[in-house]
Amino acid sequence: MENKTKDTILITGGAGFIGSNLTEYFLGLDYKVVCLDNFSTGHRHNLKNFLSNPDFKLIEGDIRNLADCNLAVEGADYVLHQAALGSVPRSIKDPITTNEVNVSGFLNMLTAALDAKVKRFVYAASSSTYGDSQGLPKVEDVIGKPLSPYAITKYVNELYAEIFSKTYGLETIGLRYFNVFGRKQDPNGAYAAVIPKFVKQFMNHESPVINGDGNYSRDFTYIDNVIQMNELAMTSQNPEAINSVYNTAFGNRNTLNDLVKYLKEYLSEFDPKIKDVQVIYGENRAGDIPHSLASIEKAKKILGYNPKYSLQDGLKEAVGWYWNNLK
C-alpha cells in the first residue's frame, strides 16, 4: 500500500477568527497544519484544542519578518494567508502599521511561498476593494477607488499576487471576503466586528449603537461558507481557477436593522429580557459604504461554490456558540 504522507498547510493568522476555524477544519480532514501568528489580534484560546495534536505546529512569529515567514513555510504544500490587521477605522487611525503588516508582510509571505515552491497561495482579500463603485451586485472585474488605507492594502495584495503569478509562476487565488461572522470572532476591543460586538452587548442588556439609520446593508457571510471557499480554492484542479480573485459571500444583503431584529429574536430564546433592549442610532462612520452585495456567479461557475448558510442560518449557530462561550 502507498505510504502517503499528509499534505501540510501553512495558515498565517491561525490564532485569529477565520484562521483558527480553518485550522480546526483542515486538521479534521487529515492535513498537517502549521500556524504562524504574532497574537496581535488573535488569541491563544483559539488554538488550545489543537496544541496537543501531533499534526499541528504553532510558530509564534511576525509576517513583517521574512525569516519568520521562511521558517513557517518550510515543507508546506499550501498557504492560506489570513494574517493581517483588519478594520477600516484601525487603518484610518494607524495607516503605517496597517501598511507594514498588510503590504510588506504580504510581500514577505509571497516571497517565502515562492522560494519554498508551495503548490498554491490562497489569500484573504476583501470586499473593501470595491471602494466607491456604485453598482450592485459587485462583480470581480468592476472595482472603484479605495475608501480607506485598509482597502488600499487589500487591493495592493491582489496586484502583488497577480504579478507573482505572471512573473514567477506562483499559483495564487484571492478570496474577497464580505463581512464574515461566526464562532470564535472576537467581540472585544475598539475594532470588534459588528455581529460579535452586538451579541455581547445584547447578552449584557446594553444598547448597541448602529452607525447611521440602520438602512445600510451588507452581504453577511457565515464562516462555514468561507471555509468551503478556501478548500475549493486550495484544491481546485480547474486550470481557469488559478491566478484570479473571487467574491466570497452568501450573495444576499441584509440591513443593520434586519440584523438587529434577527439577533434579538435568536438571543431571546436564551434570555427573554433581550427582546426589550433598544438600539441607539449614531453617526455614519468614515470609510463605510452604504450597501454591499456580492455576485457569487464566478465562484459558482469556476470553483463549484455552493454556500450552505444564509445570514439567518449562520446567526442561529453563532448565537448558540456565543451563549455557551461568553456566559
Residues lying near ligand NAD in the complex (CB under 6 A) are found at 13, 15-19, 36-42, 62-64, 82-86, 101, 105, 124, 126, 177, 179-180, 186, 193
Please give the grid coordinates belonging to residue 275.
427582546
- Residue whose entry in the numeric block shows the C-alpha cell 443593520: 256
Please give the grid coordinates belonging to residue 299.
465562484
Q: Locate all alpha helices (DSSP H) within the chain, ordered by sequence.
A: 17-28, 66-73, 88-93, 95-99, 105-115, 149-168, 194-203, 223-235, 256-268, 297-298, 311-326
Please give the grid coordinates belonging to residue 322.
456565543
Q: How far is the CB of 106 from ligand NAD (least distance, A)?
A: 9
Q: Which residue, 139 or 194, is less far from ligand NAD as judged by CB?
A: 194
- Residue whose entry in the numeric block shows the C-alpha cell 475549493: 232
Q: How far apart are CA 36 and CA 318, in angstroms?
A: 26
Q: Which residues contact 82 (CB under 8 A, 6 or more apart)?
A: 11, 12, 13, 14, 16, 18, 19, 22, 123, 124
Find, among 273, 246, 261, the residue nearest to 311 by Cα. 261
Out of 150, 155, 222, 246, pick the active-site residue. Answer: 150
**Do residues 228 and 308 make contact, with C-beta atoms less than 8 angstroms apart?**
yes
Q: Is the dihedral of CA 109, 60, 221, 102 positive or negative?
A: negative
Q: How many helices and strands, by DSSP H and E, does the chain display?
A: 11, 13
Element (DSSP H or E) covering residue 80: strand 78-81
Q: Which residue, 86 or 277, is less far from ligand NAD as judged by CB?
A: 86
Q: How far is the CB of 253 from ligand NAD (least distance, A)?
A: 14
Q: How far is the CB of 83 from ligand NAD (least distance, A)?
A: 4
First-to-final CA distance of the chain: 50
Please give the grid coordinates belonging to residue 71.
521558517
DSSP lists the bridge partners of residue 123 as 81, 174
Q: How far is the CB of 26 from ligand NAD (least distance, A)?
A: 15
Bridging pattern class, strands 217-218 and 8-12: unpaired
Q: Is 191 a catalytic residue?
A: no
Q: Which residues are known to be catalytic? A: 150
